């Protein structure tokens, strides 16, 4: 069975044709990436993809969306598109559809991909627990969070959350300075303001002020690039500070969700900084939870390296909703 799998974030919408076999195995065609800013609506982006595919698409679709998915109108967290579920079949020509939060889809992918699709980041170097609760999060344009519960019989349940919008909790003077900068623009500073791709600009500017170095406001991609290639020590310090903050947030999410069977970092940004994550203060911040430090140190933290976990997970979510076997 074929369907259109779609992963829609704040910056990009990715489309693929997914094939699901009777045994639940999933394969994806090469994805097509469309910039959300290039299209006025999801409808026109869909039509662009359909044209690229020769004008015909399977009559089934599964969409992973960056933002809450309930209600009569779905509004995206970081782009201006909307989707009205009641009109999906009419507008897209689909017989059946599934709509899930983007990190709900990633959690579906975590549940189904093999162990070779993960690399180790911190904690004990052992596989994710085959039963119990796992926490899944990842920085991109925003910060996505979900959790996964694995049953002893091999089935699983996934829940979307908006954990990226919990309060940012500073741990030292530099964190305090980052918070103070952000408070000038936001009365309430969520972790997404500190642990998402665009946040590197505020971190960099904060460090520059502390160093007494005048720096121009610039694109976050440029800072990420210099921070990773070693050409700018201040940008490298900003990247390390980002990794520390990500460790703190990942640990908080695991505590809140009970994700003691493992934590999975997802997303393209996490993959790009994977080597820095291992060498940074990520691991120390992850387990720095006072009386629970020993518990936190026992949790394996992995990075999913499947090239398209959102697309794969959207297809897996469709299979789960519509009764296609996952065994």
For the stretch 289-313, pLDDT in tens is 999 999 999 999 999 999 999 999 9
End-to-end CA distance of the chain: 16
Region 274-301: what's the mean pLDDT?
A: 96
**What span, in angstroms and rounded, lies between the C-alpha atoms of 161 and 317?**
16
With cut-offs at 50, 70 and 90, classify the pLDDT of residue 216: confident
Percent of the chain, pLDDT > 90? 85
Tell whether the model's pLDDT for residue 128 goes beyond 60. yes
pLDDT of residue 190: 97
- Sorted by where each begins, the domain ranges of the chain are 1-101+307-327, 163-304
- Give the mean model confidence (pLDDT) for residues 186-200: 96
pLDDT for res 27: 94
Find the mean pLDDT for residues 147-151. Answer: 96
| Torsional sign, CA 66, 72, 73, 77 | negative
pLDDT score of 215: 83
Please check the confidence at residue 326 and state whether its pLDDT lies above 60: no
Place of tokens 């990773």: 228
pLDDT at residue 327 is higher than 70: no
User: Is 325 a residue whose pLDDT tops 60?
Assistant: no
Task: Write down the pLDDT at residue 140.
Answer: 87
pLDDT at 5 over 50: yes
Task: Enumerate the known binding-site residues for ATP.
Answer: 6-11
Matching residue, tokens 């998915």: 69
CATH C-level class of 1-101+307-327? alpha beta
Supply the pLDDT for residue 47. Answer: 95
CB contact at 8 A, 235 and 226: yes
* Distance separating alpha carbons of residues 24 and 327, to the nearest angstrom: 6
pLDDT value for 80:
85
Strand residue runs (E) in the chain: 2-8, 12-20, 26-28, 32-35, 60-65, 74-75, 82-83, 96-101, 118-122, 132-139, 143-150, 156-161, 263-265, 301-304
Token code pair at residue 221:
């991609």
Q: Are 286 and 248 in contact (CB under 8 A)?
A: yes
Task: Report the pLDDT value the prediction gives residue 261, as an integer from 0 to 100.
Answer: 97
Average pLDDT taken over every residue of the chain? 93
CATH class label, 163-304: alpha beta
* CB of 147 closer than 8 Å to CB of 135: yes
pLDDT of the residue at 260: 97
| pLDDT > 80? residue 170 | yes
Burial class (CB in 10 A: 0-12, 13-18, 19+), 215: middle
**Binding-site annotation: residue ranges:** 6-11
Does 192 have pLDDT greater than 80?
yes
Is it the case that residue 107 has pLDDT exceeding 50?
Answer: yes
pLDDT digits (tens, 9 = 90+) for 18-49: 999 888 889 999 999 999 999 999 999 999 99
What is the per-residue pLDDT across 37-88, written as a single tens digit (0 to 9) for each?
A: 999 999 999 999 999 999 999 999 999 998 788 889 998 767 788 999 999 9
């Amino acid at each position: 069975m074929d369907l259109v799998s779609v992963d829609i974030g704040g910056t990009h919408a990715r489309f693929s044709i997914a094939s699901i076999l009777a045994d639940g195995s999933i394969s994806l065609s090469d994805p097509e990436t469309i910039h959300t800013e290039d299209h006025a609506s999801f409808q026109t982006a869909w039509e662009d993809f359909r044209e690229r595919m020769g004008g015909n698409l399977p009559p089934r679709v599964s969409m992973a969306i960056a933002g809450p998915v309930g209600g009569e109108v779905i509004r995206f967290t970081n782009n201006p598109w909307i989707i009205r579920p009641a009109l999906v079949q009419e507008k897209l020509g689909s017989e059946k559809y599934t709509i899930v939060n983007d990190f709900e889809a990633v959690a579906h992918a975590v549940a189904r991909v093999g162990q070779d699709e993960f690399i180790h980041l911190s904690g004990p170097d052992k596989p994710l627990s085959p039963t119990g609760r796992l926490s899944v999060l990842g920085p991109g344009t925003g910060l996505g969070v979900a959790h996964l519960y694995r049953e002893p019989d091999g089935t699983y349940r996934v829940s979307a959350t908006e954990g990226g919008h919990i309060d940012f909790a500073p741990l030292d003077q530099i964190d305090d300075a980052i918070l103070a900068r952000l408070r000038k623009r936001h009365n309430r500073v969520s972790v997404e303001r500190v642990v998402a791709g665009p946040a590197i600009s505020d971190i960099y500017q904060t460090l520059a002020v502390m160093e007494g170095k005048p720096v121009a406001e610039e694109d976050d991609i440029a800072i990420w690039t210099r921070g990773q290639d070693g050409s700018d020590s201040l940008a490298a310090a900003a990247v390390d500070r980002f990794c520390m903050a990500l460790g703190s947030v990942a640990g908080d999410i695991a505590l809140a969700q009970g994700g003691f069977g493992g934590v999975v970092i997802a997303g393209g940004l996490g993959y790009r900084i994977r080597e820095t994550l291992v060498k940074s203060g990520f691991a120390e911040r992850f387990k720095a939870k006072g009386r629970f430090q020993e518990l936190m140190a026992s949790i394996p933290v992995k990075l999913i390296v499947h090239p398209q976990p959102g697309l794969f997970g959207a297809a897996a979510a469709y299979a789960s909703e519509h009764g296609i076997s996952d065994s």
